[in-house]
Amino acid sequence: MFVLPIALLVAYSQIVIKWRMLGAEAAEIQNLHLSARMLKYLSDPVIVSAYVAALLASFVWLYVITKLPLVVAFPVYIGVTFALVVIGGWFFLSESITLLRLVSILLILAGIVIGVRS
């Protein structure tokens, strides 16, 4: 599917940024002045890779919206990205997946299937 690479890139960027903000340096960085904090973030190659992934996702999105109707592409992109971030947060960041969150993912994915077929 055309939208999957975009969802993967965006989910990667969100998970990596959260992961870096949980690191040992995070508390030190938060105490810096805003301009020094931004320079510190921009010098972190992992954070830069997350922003490059998000930028690449934007370029892929430009291609996707020329191939798919927006009413199909956008809900699929948002829904799949939401599911990937929840799963990635659980797998890589040890965030909890509650029953309610799991049900919401299943409802979103069911809604995507129904919406794409209509």
Where exactly are the structural domains of the chain? 4-117
Read off the pTM.
0.84
Question: Contact 16/49 with Cβ under 8 angstroms?
Answer: yes
Interval 2-49: pLDDT, tens: 899 999 999 999 999 999 888 756 667 777 888 888 888 888 899 999
pLDDT at residue 30, as a whole number: 75
90 exposure class (CB count in 10 Å sphere: 0-12, 13-18, 19+): middle
CB atoms within 10 A of CB 52: 13
